[in-house]
């Protein structure tokens, strides 16, 4: 009996087009991972071979994770087949045994999933033989690793997921229930991943055991060197063995539970057997004795009536989503996932932090919002098909509502759903904050985050609706959305990141408590406006093709669309398209006119070019900077800065210097210029793109002699770029550094670092750090290649409400022409590295012996100022006792916006 | 007065659902009789603005139904052959929703209307109950309630009595008859009695063509003296089919009772019966089948 069921099921599965489609798609993906740089799965980067054992194992493990979205199709499909095709009652009336029936179905479904992964392995294996693959990046075919990955990772993983989904499918007898199970399972994996990856070592063992995909592997190979990864296979022992045994045991228990719960009858398993049956319909014995006179009503079709109808429809659709099982399940899963994320938000590397609002928003971004994606895609289909699905379309289509109304109501309903979903998450976060005694709530900030997310998600919702309407087939609609998401993912993998052609995308809006959203929201909103214009046009066209009544076929729909394409639709389409083009031109002016948009490939080419052309000038004898006197005028409102700098350059070598090498900054903003002024010279090389210049001095600089060098630099960040640009020059919290000043050496930081990138551009292997015996390298300190100790002074100016800071002791502060000026002098020589800050700072002062202690902080972030002052004192105590005296008379700690991954 | 002229419709799969259908339908109940697949629903949906014909015209008074769908929809009440409900919504809320869509946007007006409609179709007591729990008859009455919103001039009900028990069916038809005194009501059905009992006028439609249109009584009178009945042996039925126009066969008490259409007594053993609409109906279908065979 088992074998009969098994063979039947297997034959059905292998005959399905979906199986081959998925097999080929995933195998192609693995093939690409093995032979192209665009697809990165498994970590075959750097010195690790493309087909290293480690790569094979991680790659197959990754695919078995991707598989959890596909296994429901096979395993649950096998479990639900008889219910879906209404053959259940026929089947259950035969004397087939439980074990035979369930076992045959399950094993067949599981085997098919395994076959998919075998296809993946074959695809990867084939990919490594492609002629264009760099032979230097391949090792011998790791047969052992293939076997190990399939046996230890893939088979048990699929067995577990299969068993779980089989149980869910049998218990719920619904695909939706099964997909809910998939999601619950994903949450489990994510939480385990967080436990593993969060740096808190005490959770690692638990995390390794909890991850049903063989978590111990990551832990066991974490500290492997490239050579280990190229040759070794993890031992099947310790946590790996424990993890496998644990989940295999759980899988068997799940199968046992399936066997126990399976009921071969019509009803299936009911968790809540309905005790209170609906009372039999009451039929009043007699009809109303007197005829009812219907009151006279007015049918209205004015603007107010249309608005009321629209509101009613939108609300009706919204209610149906908000009350839907799938929505509630996603919401609960999202909140569960958010809870896991929030519990880690409370600390950074084990140090507790306040649960401030932007951290809450960050947790929602990474662990909550993507459930909304699923909600939108799913309910776009549900809503478009709602009337037809319920068999009500003929009724409502015959009502005198305008053709555009239902679609627009569904857009509104999705918008409302997005708002509700985000508002619930935000309230949940507020609850979390209050629970932790944190009462500095920022409702307005939550609203801003909700607003920005709404704009992003609604575009996807509209696209999903449009796809549903156009395709006029629910599953084709879903396939189109998912295909589109995959396309977008592929484009970003290939570094096609220009927002101008990526539907719905816009520059990020990085947030910091100091600077808020700064001016970054401007570009974001312009791009949204651009995409909403296109979305409107798409909606207009979808509205033309909206199926009303009994219309089949493209030709009939096209004819109706043409009939509907009258003045209002034409005007709407023309307006939205011209808006799209006009805003697009404006965006282009900003992101390509005001800024340089450089693709990843061009960046790499430039870096390679730089090294090939100019590395020969490395170590060229150059004068050293000894004195720096700068005048920095910061304009926070305009996001502009003007610098006038005076260097004194000294020839510290024993030969005269006749050529000056000048490296100028290359910035994304086009509003940046540097003018140089120094003794008579002629340019022998001027590369504006790379900022690399060589000047022949009319009079060579004699040994021991010095020369003045003056520069005027102007930088501004007008408008907006494709991605947030100029995070160092902002409204509140400007943080400039001397990196952007002229320097006199070849910049090794510009070189390509990754060996594979280097090989692609014909560069040799990356250079290691210089040897300790390398005297030339020892001639430079950590931060500069063209200076030792320098004398420094600076005059800063900024807007009247801000304080500007630079290294050195404040000599004078004055106001002139509505701007505040500060003059700083550092009386002892320092390294040639300075930063310049300007912000609306509050200052807290204290003293430690003779040293002035100062903390510059933002008024909204006064949380730990006293602690910082105390820590400064304790540190100075400790350091002076153990290391040596403190050489300065002041110690200042400054707050900067959290746009940076450091400090 | 609804005027239908030369309506034709061929589906993409080649099925000719309507060919040259012309009908004049005055106020009152109009019965549209035909077998399954005759084109009744296509005709109904076309009148209800849900489908476009390939050619032909429909006029409702001054309104060109095919050209001015919004105007038609304002005076239309339509109960489709099959219609579903949102199972979790109460009858009252659903009817209220429909009333808004119809254009009754004033809240007070709407509440009175919904109340009256629910009372009229006898669903007042169950107005707070979810539609998912309704029986077929209750659901059908709910359907007629929504079709009556806004005092329609044209009411179209497509096979409304299918699946109703006799009592429900009777109540439903009475309700329709009441409405039919004032407006055009088109009732499509394949149950002959529905038409006999209620409709002053009727049409028989088969294979997409109108076979007969008129008053039921007159059409019956045309068959007076031409319908003959006989009890026969079951096995002899094919013989009779070959030789005569057999209108209907029925099993009665172990014997097979056949009705035959003939101008004179076909043979011994037949007796004359007074014709009813069913005989008319089967006669027309027989014609239609013969015409098709000839073609």
Q: Is B76 helix (H, G, I), strand (E, B) or coil?
A: strand
Q: What's the rounded Cα separation, in Å, for the pair B202 and B219?
A: 10
Whether residue A245 is found in the same domain as residue A361: no
CATH of the domain at A856: 3.30.2010.30
Residue A330 parent element (H or E)? helix A325-345
Minimum-distance CB partner of A287 among B112, B117, B171 = B171
In a domain, A691, yes or no: yes
Whether residue A244 is found in the same domain as residue A382: no
**Which chain B residue has the Cα nearest residue A393?**
B83
A51 contacts: CB under 8 Å, gap ≥ 6: A34, A44, A124, A125, A128, A138, A139, A141, A142
Whether residue A853 is found in the same domain as residue A835: no
Tally the domains of chain A. Answer: 4
Among B181, B222, B177, residue whose Cα is nearest residue B197? B177
Q: What's the rounded Cα separation, in Å, for the pair A789 and A772?
A: 21
In a domain, A692, yes or no: yes
User: Which site among B64, B80, B103 would you substitute to test the A interface, given the most A Cβ atoms closer than 10 Å to its Cβ?
Assistant: B103
CATH of the domain at A625: 2.60.40.1730
Q: What is the pLDDT of residue A265?
A: 67
Quick: pLDDT tens for A844-875.
Answer: 999 999 999 999 999 988 889 999 999 999 99
In a domain, A169, yes or no: yes
Q: What is the pLDDT of residue A199?
A: 54
The alpha carbon of A321 is separated from its chain's Cα centroid by a whole number of angstroms, namely: 27
CB atoms within 10 A of CB A257: 15
Minimum-distance CB partner of A305 among B105, B135, B143 = B105
In a domain, A581, yes or no: no
Q: What is the pLDDT of residue A192?
A: 65
Six-digit token string for A102: 């369930």
Sheet holding B55-60, edge to edge: B16-25, B2-10, B55-60, B63-64
Minimum-distance CB partner of B100 among A292, A309, A556 = A309
Whether residue A355 is found in the same domain as residue A408: yes
Whether residue A9 is found in the same domain as residue A39: yes
Whether residue A805 is found in the same domain as residue A846: no
Minimum-distance CB partner of A301 among B103, B109, B143 = B103
In a domain, A299, yes or no: no
Reported ipTM: 0.86
| Proportion of chain B above pLDDT 70, given as a percent | 99
Q: Which of residues 296-335 of A touch B (CB under 8 A)?
A: 296-301, 304-305, 308-309, 312-313, 316, 320, 323
Residue A407 parent element (H or E)? helix A405-435
For residue A719, count CB atoms less than 10 angstroms from its CB and return exposed for 0-12, middle for 13-18, buried for 19 or more: buried
Which structural domain, as residue segments, surrounds residue A353?
A: 305-331+345-566
* Placement of tokens 């999601």 in the chain: A183
User: Of A793, A822, A839, which one is at a domain's C-terminal end?
Assistant: A839
Q: What's the rounded Cα separation, in Å, for the pair B65 and A659?
A: 90
In a domain, A225, yes or no: yes
Whether residue A634 is found in the same domain as residue A668: yes
Angle at A384 between CA A383 and CA A390, to 5 degrees: 70
Count CA atoms closer than 13 A to A6's CA, side-chain side.
Answer: 12
Q: How far apart, in Å, do the first and last CA atoms of chain A sit?
A: 68
Q: Do B119 and A553 touch (CB under 8 A)?
A: no
The backbone region for A553, taken as left when phi is positive above 0, alpha when psi lies in -120 to 50, beta otherwise, is: left
DSSP string, A675-707: EEE-SSEEEEEEETTTTEEEEEEEEEE-TT-EE
Q: What's the rounded Cα separation, in Å, for the pair A163 and A252?
A: 8
> Which domains does chain B show, CATH number per domain?
2-214 (3.40.50.300), 221-294 (no CATH)
CB atoms within 10 A of CB A31: 21
Q: Which residues of B touch A557 (CB under 8 A)?
A: none
Among B235, B269, B230, B233, residue whose Cα is nearest residue B246? B230
User: Of A226, A245, A261, which one is at a domain's C-terminal end?
Assistant: A261
For residue B207, CA distances in Å to B47, B58, B280, B292 come to 18, 20, 16, 9
Question: Is the Cβ of A560 closer than 8 Å to some Cβ of chain B?
Answer: yes
Sheet holding A640-650, edge to edge: A672-677, A706-716, A640-650, A624-635, A787-799, A819-831, A809-816
User: Of A227, A242, A261, which one is at a domain's C-terminal end?
Assistant: A261
In a domain, A284, yes or no: no
Whether residue A170 is found in the same domain as residue A217: yes
Whether residue A244 is found in the same domain as residue A380: no
Q: What is the pLDDT of residue A86?
A: 64
- Find out whether A889 and A827 touch, Cβ atoms under 8 Å: no
User: Which site among A278, A383, A399 would you substitute to test the B interface, given the most B Cβ atoms closer than 10 Å to its Cβ?
Assistant: A399
Q: Which residues of A touch B171 (CB under 8 A)?
A: 287
Contacts A–B by Cβ distance under 8 A: 137
CB atoms within 10 A of CB A12: 15
Whether residue A833 is found in the same domain as residue A848: no
User: Which site among B15, B42, B85, B86 would you substitute to test the A interface, given the most A Cβ atoms closer than 10 Å to its Cβ?
Assistant: B86
Q: What's the rounded Cα separation, in Å, for the pair B207 and B257?
A: 27
Q: Do B98 and A299 touch (CB under 8 A)?
A: no
Residues of chain A with pLDDT under 50: 272-278, 281, 283, 285-289
User: Which site among B39, B105, B155 would you substitute to test the A interface, given the most A Cβ atoms closer than 10 Å to its Cβ?
Assistant: B105
Quick: pLDDT tens for A454-480.
Answer: 999 999 999 999 999 998 887 788 878
Whether residue A500 is found in the same domain as residue A514: yes
For residue A561, count CB atoms less than 10 angstroms from its CB and return exposed for 0-12, middle for 13-18, buried for 19 or more: middle
In a domain, A436, yes or no: yes
Q: Which residues of B touch A558 (CB under 8 A)?
A: none
Minimum-distance CB partner of B84 among A323, A392, A549 = A392
Q: How far apart, in Å, do the first and last CA atoms of chain B sit?
A: 35
Mean pLDDT of B197-212: 85
Q: What's the rounded Cα separation, in Å, for the pair A883 and B2?
A: 105
């Amino acid at each position: 009996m088992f074998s009969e069921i098994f063979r039947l099921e297997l034959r059905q599965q292998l005959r399905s087009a979906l199986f081959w489609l998925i097999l080929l798609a995933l195998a192609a993906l693995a093939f690409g991972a093995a032979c192209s740089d665009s697809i990165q799965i498994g970590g075959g980067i750097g010195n690790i071979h493309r087909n290293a054992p480690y790569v094979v194992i991680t790659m197959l493990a990754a695919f078995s994770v991707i598989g959890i979205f596909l296994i429901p199709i096979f395993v649950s499909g096998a479990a639900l087949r008889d219910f879906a095709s209404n053959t259940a009652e026929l089947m259950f009336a035969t004397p087939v045994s439980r074990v035979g029936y369930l076992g045959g179905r399950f094993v067949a479904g599981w085997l098919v999933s395994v076959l998919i992964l075998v296809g993946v392995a074959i695809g990867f294996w084939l990919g490594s033989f492609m002629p264009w693959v760099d032979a230097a990046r391949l090792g011998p075919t790791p047969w052992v690793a293939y076997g190990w990955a399939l046996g230890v990772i893939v088979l048990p993983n699929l067995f577990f997921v299969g068993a779980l989904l089989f149980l869910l499918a049998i218990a719920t007898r619904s695909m939706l229930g099964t997909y809910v199970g998939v999601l619950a399972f994903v949450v489990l994996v994510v939480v385990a991943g967080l436990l593993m990856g969060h740096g808190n070592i005490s959770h690692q063992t638990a995390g390794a055991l909890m991850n049903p995909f063989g978590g111990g592997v990551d832990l066991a190979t974490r500290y492997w060197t490239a050579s280990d990864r190229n040759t070794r296979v993890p031992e099947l022992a310790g946590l790996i063995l424990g993890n496998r045994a644990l989940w295999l045991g759980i899988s068997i228990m799940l199968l046992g539970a399936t066997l126990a719960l399976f009921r071969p009858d019509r009803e299936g398993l009911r968790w809540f057997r309905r005790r209170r049956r609906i009372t039999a319909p009451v039929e009043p014995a007699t009809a109303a004795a007197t005829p009812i006179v219907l009151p006279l009503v007015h049918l209205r079709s004015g603007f107010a009536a249309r608005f009321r109808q629209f509101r009613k429809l939108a609300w009706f659709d919204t209610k149906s989503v908000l009350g839907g099982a799938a929505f509630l399940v996603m919401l609960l899963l999202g909140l569960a996932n958010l809870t896991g994320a929030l519990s880690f938000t409370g600390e950074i590397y084990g140090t507790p932090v306040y649960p401030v609002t932007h951290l809450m928003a960050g947790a929602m971004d990474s662990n909550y919002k993507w459930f909304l994606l699923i909600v939108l895609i799913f309910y776009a289909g549900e809503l478009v098909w709602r009337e037809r699905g319920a068999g009500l379309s003929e009724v409502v289509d015959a009502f005198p509502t305008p053709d555009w109304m239902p679609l627009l109501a569904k857009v509104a309903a999705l918008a409302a759903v997005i708002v509700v979903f985000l508002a619930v998450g935000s309230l949940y976060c507020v609850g979390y904050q209050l629970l932790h005694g944190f009462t500095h709530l920022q409702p307005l900030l939550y609203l801003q985050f909700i607003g920005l997310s709404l704009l992003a998600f609604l575009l996807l919702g509209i696209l999903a609706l449009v796809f549903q309407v156009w395709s006029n087939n629910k599953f084709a609609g879903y396939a189109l959305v998912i295909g589109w998401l995959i396309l977008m993912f592929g484009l970003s993998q290939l570094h096609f990141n220009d927002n101008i052609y990526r539907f719905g995308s816009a520059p990020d809006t990085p947030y910091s408590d100091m600077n808020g959203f700064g001016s970054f929201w401007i570009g974001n909103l312009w791009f949204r406006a651009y995409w909403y214009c296109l979305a409107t046009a798409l909606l207009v066209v979808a509205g033309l093709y909206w199926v009303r009544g009994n219309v089949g076929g493209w030709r009939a729909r096209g004819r109706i669309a043409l009939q509907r394409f009258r003045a209002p639709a034409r005007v709407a389409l023309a307006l939205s398209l011209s808006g799209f083009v006009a805003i697009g031109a404006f965006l282009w002016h900003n992101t390509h006119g005001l800024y340089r948009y450089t693709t990843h490939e061009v960046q790499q080419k430039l870096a390679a070019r730089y090294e090939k052309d100019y590395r020969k000038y490395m170590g060229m004898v150059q004068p050293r900077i000894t004195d720096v006197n700068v005048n920095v005028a910061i304009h926070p409102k305009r996001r502009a800065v003007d610098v006038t700098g005076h260097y004194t350059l000294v020839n510290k070598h024993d030969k005269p210097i006749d050529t000056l090498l000048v490296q100028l900054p290359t910035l994304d903003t086009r509003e940046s210029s540097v003018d140089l002024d120094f003794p008579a010279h002629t340019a022998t090389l001027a590369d504006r793109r790379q900022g690399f210049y060589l000047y022949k001095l009319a009079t060579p600089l004699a040994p021991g002699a010095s020369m003045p060098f003056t520069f005027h630099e102007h930088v501004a960040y007008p408008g907006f770029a494709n991605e947030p640009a100029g995070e160092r020059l902002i409204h509140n919290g400007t943080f400039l550094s001397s990196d952007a000043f002229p320097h006199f050496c070849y910049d090794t930081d510009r070189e390509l670092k990754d060996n594979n990138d280097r090989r692609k551009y014909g560069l040799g292997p990356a250079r290691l750090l210089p040897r300790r015996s390398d005297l030339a390298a020892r001639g430079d300190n950590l931060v500069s290649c063209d200076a030792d100790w320098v004398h420094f002074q600076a005059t800063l100016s900024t807007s009247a409400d801000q304080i500007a800071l630079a290294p050195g002791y404040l000599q004078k502060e004055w106001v002139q022409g509505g701007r505040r000026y500060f003059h700083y002098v550092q009386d002892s020589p320092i390294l040639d590295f300075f930063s310049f800050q300007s912000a609306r700072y509050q200052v807290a002062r204290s003293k430690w012996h003779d040293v002035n202690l100062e903390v510059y902080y933002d008024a909204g972030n006064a949380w730990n100022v006293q602690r910082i002052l105390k820590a400064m004192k304790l540190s100075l105590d400790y350091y002076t006792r153990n290391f040596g005296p403190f050489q300065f008379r002041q110690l200042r700690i400054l707050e900067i916006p959290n746009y940076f991954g450091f400090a | 007065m609804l005027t239908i002229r030369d309506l034709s419709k061929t589906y993409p799969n080649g099925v000719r659902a309507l060919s040259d259908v012309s009908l004049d339908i005055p106020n009152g109940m109009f019965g549209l009789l035909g077998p399954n697949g005759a084109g009744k629903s296509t005709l109904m949906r076309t009148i209800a603005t849900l489908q476009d014909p390939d050619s032909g015209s429909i006029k409702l008074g001054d309104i060109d139904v095919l050209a001015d769908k919004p105007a038609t929809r304002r005076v239309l009440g339509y109960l489709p052959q099959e219609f579903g409900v949102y199972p979790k919504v109460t009858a009252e809320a659903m009817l209220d929703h429909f009333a808004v869509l119809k254009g009754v946007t004033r809240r007070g007006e709407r509440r009175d209307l919904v109340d009256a409609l629910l009372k009229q179709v006898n669903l007042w007591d169950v107005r707070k109950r979810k539609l998912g729990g309704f029986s077929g008859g209750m659901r059908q009455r709910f359907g007629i309630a929504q079709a009556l919103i806004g005092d329609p001039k044209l009411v179209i009900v497509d096979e409304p009595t299918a699946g109703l028990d006799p009592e429900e069916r009777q109540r439903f038809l009475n309700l329709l008859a009441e409405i039919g005194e004032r407006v055009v009501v088109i009732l499509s059905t394949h149950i002959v009695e529905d038409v006999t009992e209620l409709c002053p006028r009727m049409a028989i439609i088969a294979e997409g063509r109108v076979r007969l249109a008129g008053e039921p009584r007159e059409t019956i009178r045309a068959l007076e003296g031409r319908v003959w009945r006989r009890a026969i042996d079951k096995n002899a039925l094919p013989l009779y089919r070959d030789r005569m126009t057999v209108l209907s066969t029925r099993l009665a008490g172990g014997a097979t009772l056949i009705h035959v259409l003939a101008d004179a007594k076909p043979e011994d053993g037949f007796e004359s019966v007074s014709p009813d609409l069913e005989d008319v109906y089967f006669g027309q279908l027989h014609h239609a089948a013969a015409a098709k065979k000839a073609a």
